[in-house]
Amino acid sequence: MKLQIRDRDRRALLLCAAAALVYVIVQYVALPAYDRISAARDLAADRENQLRRYRRAELRKGQYVGLLKLAADRVQKDEALVIPAASLPLASAEMQSLVEGAGTKVGLMLSQRTIGTPRRLNDFYADVPMTLSFESTPGQLVAFLSELRSLPRFVSVRTLQVTPVEMVTEVPKGYDVTKNLRVVMTITSLSSSSLVKTQGANR
Query: For position 171, what pLDDT does the model report?
Result: 55
67 vs 53, more confident: 53
Residue predicted with more confidence, 203 or 116: 116
Describe the crossing of helices 194-202 and 88-105 by its angle, rounded to 10 degrees: 120
pTM above 0.85, yes or no: no
pLDDT of 201 = 41
Homologous superfamily (CATH) of 88-169+178-202 is Ribosomal protein S6/Translation elongation factor EF1B (3.30.70.60)
Q: What percent of the chain has pLDDT over 90?
A: 16
Q: 133 near 162, Cβ under 8 Å? A: no
Confidence band of 86 (pLDDT split at 50, 70, 90): confident
Identify any residues that bridge with 36 across adjacent strands, giving them in sequence order: none
135-190 tens-digit pLDDT: 998 889 999 999 998 888 888 899 999 998 776 555 556 555 557 889 999 999 88
Question: What is 129-197 written as a DSSP string?
Answer: EEEEEEEE-HHHHHHHHHHHHTSSS-EEEEEEEEEESS--SSPPTT------EEEEEEEEEEEETHHHH
